[in-house]
Amino acid sequence: MSDLESATRFYSEVLRFKPIDRPDSLPDNGVWLEGYGFQIHLIEDREYRSPGLANPSLPDKKHFALTVDDIHDFRQYLIERTVTVGDLIEIGDGRQQFFFCDPADNPIEITNP
Q: How many CA atoms lie within 13 A of 104 on its CB side?
A: 21
CATH topology of domain 64-111: 2,3-Dihydroxybiphenyl 1,2-Dioxygenase; domain 1 (3.10.180)
Q: What are 25-80's pLDDT values in tens digits?
A: 887 889 999 998 899 999 887 666 665 665 555 665 678 889 999 999 999 999 99
Evaluate if residue 20 carries a pLDDT over 70.
yes
pLDDT of residue 57: 59
Distance CA(2)–CA(73), nearest Å, equals 30
pTM of this structure: 0.76
pLDDT of residue 35: 92
Domains of the chain, residue spans: 4-43, 64-111
